[in-house]
Amino acid sequence: MIGRLNHVAIAVRDIAKAAVYRDTLGAEISAKVAQPDHGVSTVFITLPNTKIELLEPLGAGSPINKFLEKNPDGGIHHLCYEVSDIIAARDTLKAQGARVLGDGEPRIGAHGKPVMFLHPKDFCGTLVELEQA
Ligand code: CO
């Protein structure tokens, strides 16, 4: 069902820390983009085989606030896998007992494509994002 690893998302309190990927690791990093619909600001780091998505909270109700309370130095927040048909993937996963977060309907994600999140307890303790490729 799952295809490529689309990105690894890392939550940080201060997204300026993304500079370490440019200055120390020599990667290309994007400008910071506010994503008010998602309660985060993002910086993307493009690697040859995938992307790293740095997330910084935007607004008091940011969905990553709780994570950063538990992980004040930041940390890996989720992994995003590509699927060819997100509705078919959801229906298959639900039939196997996996929990889809939110109302179970895909939303438009940070890349303008439909996404949904799966409960970390069902996937080895890792929050999983599915993105329709
Ligand atoms: Co993501």
pTM comes to: 0.93
Total number of domains in the chain: 1
CA separation for the pair 58, 65 (Å, rounded) = 9
Q: For residue 91, what is the DSSP state?
A: H
Does the annotation count 131 as an active-site position? no
pLDDT of residue 72: 95
101 by Cβ neighbours in 10 Å (0-12 / 13-18 / 19+) ranks as: middle
Residue range of the domain that includes 37: 2-132
Q: CA–CA separation, 110 vs 42, rounded Å?
A: 8
Distance 37 CA to ligand 1 centre (A): 13
Spell out the per-residue pLDDT of the chain, length 133, in tens.
999 999 999 999 999 999 999 999 999 999 999 999 889 999 999 999 999 999 999 988 999 999 999 999 999 999 999 999 999 999 999 999 999 999 999 999 888 899 999 999 999 999 999 999 9
CB atoms within 5 A of ion ligand 1 belong to: 9, 80, 129
CATH, residue 71: 3.10.180.10
- How far apart are alpha carbons 103 and 106 in whole angstroms? 9
Give the total residue count for the chain.
133
What is the structure's pLDDT at 60? Answer: 86
Cα of 53 from ligand 1 centre, angstroms = 7
pLDDT tens profile 36-62 = 988 999 999 999 999 999 999 998 899
Structure tokens at 79: 């992994």
